[in-house]
Structure formats: structure tokens, C-alpha cells
């Protein structure tokens, strides 16, 4: 048997399931213990070292740590379905309850004469700036928008992520002596490379949603929007109202953000079309529950299967069905409408079941 290599951090990561599941390997047990002791600022800084934006992630993270949490497998005394520790929300607790941590930010080393350019002011570039600036590098961040943050500022709705949280956490980084060139889009890599930088980091991201090429898409283009583009338009104030009837294709964070934004902008009949059944949608607890609780109206779920749009124009080509459309099938929460069942065959020969 080989001796355990305690110098290898991966060993400790794998032992602690939640820490291993976290892409940043944040030391979850450590900061939760600190929170339990009321040491919120210490807990925040533990997070800041690992994941840079604790306040942002405490509100928006997909929290892969929680399905891996051991408590979800061993706490049978908590009920039939044990739940994990609320790791993500505890991160927000630390961020919201901390004291002023400005004095805890890294001290800057003497300049080493190296210049680094970062294209884009989203999480990737800001993380590079955060890591390099204290080491003495002269870092310049370019972005086409007025404020730093990238996707987290322009595509995540304010009811999920307040702008003051973004300002605070991007400010910690920009105040490390980082030069921020806002409203300055990099149009030519050749021109930037000629300015004498020792290294260039391209962190412009991929802020483009996927289009759905289906029959009728072109004809209805004025009424169809790509999710993250539409959220950006809402964020910038270009979109202030929406029609009463809305259908959103997808079941992830973007889809739920579109649903909740649509309701706030006047949509009264909002449907979600997803490949999976509602229990499989990744953000139901965060997205749908408050949406229903806020208005008392139910959100309808449709499962997408092959269709011919000419035979079902009222649902924009989506045939919807549930094997058992009951509220009790998912946590007892009243999120399903009961559909009337019908069967038929589309023009392409595909059999379908509808709950109308």
C-alpha cells in the first residue's frame, strides 16, 4: 500500500465530496464552519480566494456541490428524501453578512515590468486580473460595455442578481491597480498585439444562444427571440413589455430567467417547453417556485416531441404531454396545469399525445 501523498491537494478534494464536485474546489466544510462561528468575513475570504465572486455565485451558481453532498445520502432521519446542506445559499450568507473586507484584499507587489491585456471584462478576464495584478503585472482590461462584469451583468436579471453586488465584487478586482478600458471594443487583434503587451488573454466569452431551425421560424421571426439576447435587451431597458402569451423553449437557467422576466413584463400565460419532465429541469426550485408564489398563477410545462407546426398552430408547433400531470408528482408543488389528453398522427407519420 502506498503512503498517502498529503502534498497532493487532489487527495483532500476527493475525500470531501462537495469540494471535489465544485469546479473551483472551494473548501466548503471550512467556510461553513466559519459561518457557524459567526466569522462571516473569514468565510467570505475563503470563498474569494477560490471562486472570486462569492456574492454572485451565492445567488446564481448551479451548485454541483449540493448533489454531491454526503448529507443528502446519510441523513435518513430528515425524511424519506434527505437533502444536502444549502452550500450555495450559505455562500450568499457569508457575502451578505460580512464586514468591510477591502483591507483584506491582496497587497500589491512591486511592478515587474510585464504588461498583460485582457479582452473582455467578464468573470474569466477579471479572474486573470485578480491573480496577476498582486504579483506585479500591469494588467489592462478591455470591454465594449460601460461597466465590468460581462455576462453576469448583462444576462442575469436583477431580481436574481442585484447590480450593487456586481459593482462590489468587480470593484475589488479593479481596485487592485487594474486598468479598465470601458466602452472600448477590441476590433483588431493585430492592432492590440502591436501595442507591446507581453501576453494577451482572450476572455470575450460566448454570449450567443442557440437558434432553433424549425418550420415557421423565419415567418414568425418578429415574435421569436434568442434567450440570452432577449435577457440582455431587458437588462439594458430596450424591452419593457411583452405579449400576454409566452412560450419558452428550454429548462435551464436562461429559460427560467426568461419565464420570470416575462411574468414581470406582463406575460400572463407563460409555458415552458423542455426535453425533460418538470422534475428534471435544473432550476425549478429556484425559478418556478417563487414565480408561482408571487402571482398565484401556475406555470405550464410542455414536453417537446416531433411535430408538424401546421397541425397545431395554437402552441407554435409544440405538442405537449405528461404521463401523469399532477401537482403531487413533484414535491407537492402546484406547478402543473392539467391538460386534456388527445392522440393523433402528424403529417410526417409521427404519433403524438397531447394534453391541451
pLDDT of res. 349: 47
Of the chain, the end-to-end C-alpha distance in Å amounts to 63
Cβ atoms of 320 and 352 within 8 Å: the answer is no
Partnered with residue 139 across adjacent β-strands are: 116
Cα–Cα distance for residue pair 228/209, rounded to 1 Å: 6
Cα–Cα distance for residue pair 209/225, rounded to 1 Å: 10
216, 217, 223, 224 alpha-carbon torsion, rounded to 10°: 150
Cα–Cα distance for residue pair 128/317, rounded to 1 Å: 45
* Cα 341 → chain centroid: 35
Fold classified for 115-202: FAD/NAD(P)-binding domain (3.50.50)
- Domain spans, the chain: 9-104, 115-202, 221-355
Q: Is the pTM of this model over 0.85?
A: no
Exposure letters 187-217 (e unless 16+ CB within 10 A, then b)? eeeeebeeeebeebbebbbeeebeeeeeeee
Low-confidence ranges of the chain (pLDDT < 70): 12-13, 76-79, 274-356
pLDDT of res. 78: 65
pLDDT of res. 292: 46
Closest CA to 265 of 146, 145, 158, 149: 158
pLDDT of res. 54: 96
**Which residues fall within 8 angstroms of residue 196, CB to CB, at 6 or more apart?**
115
Closest CA to 272 of 254, 289, 242, 248: 248
Structure confidence by residue, pLDDT tens digits, 61-78: 989 999 999 888 887 666
Return the biggest CA–CA distance within the chain: 74
Closest CA to 202 of 119, 131, 115, 145: 119
Partnered with residue 244 across adjacent β-strands are: none
Q: Rg (Cα) of the chain, in Å, rounded? A: 24
Domain 9-104, architecture per CATH: Orthogonal Bundle (1.10)
Amino acid at each position: 500500500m502506498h503512503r498517502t501523498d498529503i502534498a497532493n491537494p487532489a487527495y483532500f478534494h476527493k475525500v470531501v465530496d462537495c469540494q471535489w464536485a465544485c469546479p473551483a474546489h472551494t473548501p466548503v466544510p471550512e467556510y461553513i464552519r466559519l459561518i457557524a462561528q459567526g466569522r462571516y468575513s473569514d468565510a467570505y475570504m475563503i470563498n474569494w480566494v477560490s471562486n472570486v465572486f462569492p456574492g454572485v455565485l451565492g445567488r446564481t451558481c448551479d451548485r454541483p456541490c449540493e448533489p454531491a453532498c454526503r448529507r443528502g445520502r446519510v441523513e435518513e432521519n430528515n425524511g424519506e428524501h434527505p437533502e444536502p446542506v444549502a452550500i450555495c445559499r450559505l455562500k450568499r450568507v457569508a457575502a451578505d453578512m460580512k464586514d468591510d473586507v477591502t483591507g483584506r484584499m491582496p497587497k500589491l507587489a512591486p511592478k515587474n515590468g510585464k504588461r498583460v491585456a485582457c479582452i473582455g471584462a467578464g468573470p474569466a478576464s477579471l479572474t486573470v486580473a485578480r491573480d496577476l495584478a498582486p504579483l506585479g503585472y500591469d494588467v489592462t482590461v478591455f470591454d465594449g460595455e460601460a461597466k465590468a462584469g460581462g455576462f453576469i451583468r448583462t444576462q442575469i436579471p436583477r431580481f436574481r442578481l442585484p447590480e450593487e453586488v456586481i459593482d462590489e465584487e468587480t470593484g475589488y478586482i479593479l481596485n487592485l491597480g487594474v486598468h479598465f478600458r470601458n466602452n472600448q471594443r477590441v476590433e483588431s487583434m493585430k492592432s492590440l498585439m502591436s501595442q507591446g503587451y507581453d501576453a494577451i488573454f482572450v476572455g470575450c466569452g460566448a454570449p450567443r444562444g442557440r437558434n432553433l431551425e424549425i418550420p415557421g421560424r423565419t415567418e414568425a421571426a418578429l415574435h421569436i427571440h434568442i434567450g440570452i439576447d432577449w435577457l440582455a435587451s431587458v437588462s439594458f431597458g430596450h424591452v419593457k413589455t411583452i405579449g400576454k402569451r409566452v412560450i419558452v423553449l428550454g429548462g435551464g437557467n436562461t429559460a427560467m430567467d426568461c419565464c420570470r422576466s416575462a411574468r414581470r413584463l406582463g406575460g400572463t400565460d407563460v409555458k415552458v417547453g423542455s426535453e425533460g419532465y418538470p422534475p428534471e429541469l435544473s432550476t425549478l426550485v429556484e425559478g418556478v417556485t417563487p414565480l408561482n408564489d408571487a402571482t398565484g398563477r401556475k406555470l405550464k410545462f410542455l414536453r417537446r416531441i416531433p411535430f408538424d407546426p401546421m397541425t397545431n398552430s395554437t402552441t407554435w408547433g409544440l405538442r405537449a404531454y405528461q404521463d401523469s400531470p399532477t401537482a403531487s408528482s413533484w414535491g407537492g408543488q402546484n406547478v402543473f396545469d392539467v391538460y386534456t389528453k388527445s392522440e393523433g398522427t402528424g403529417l410526417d407519420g409521427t404519433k403524438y399525445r397531447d394534453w391541451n
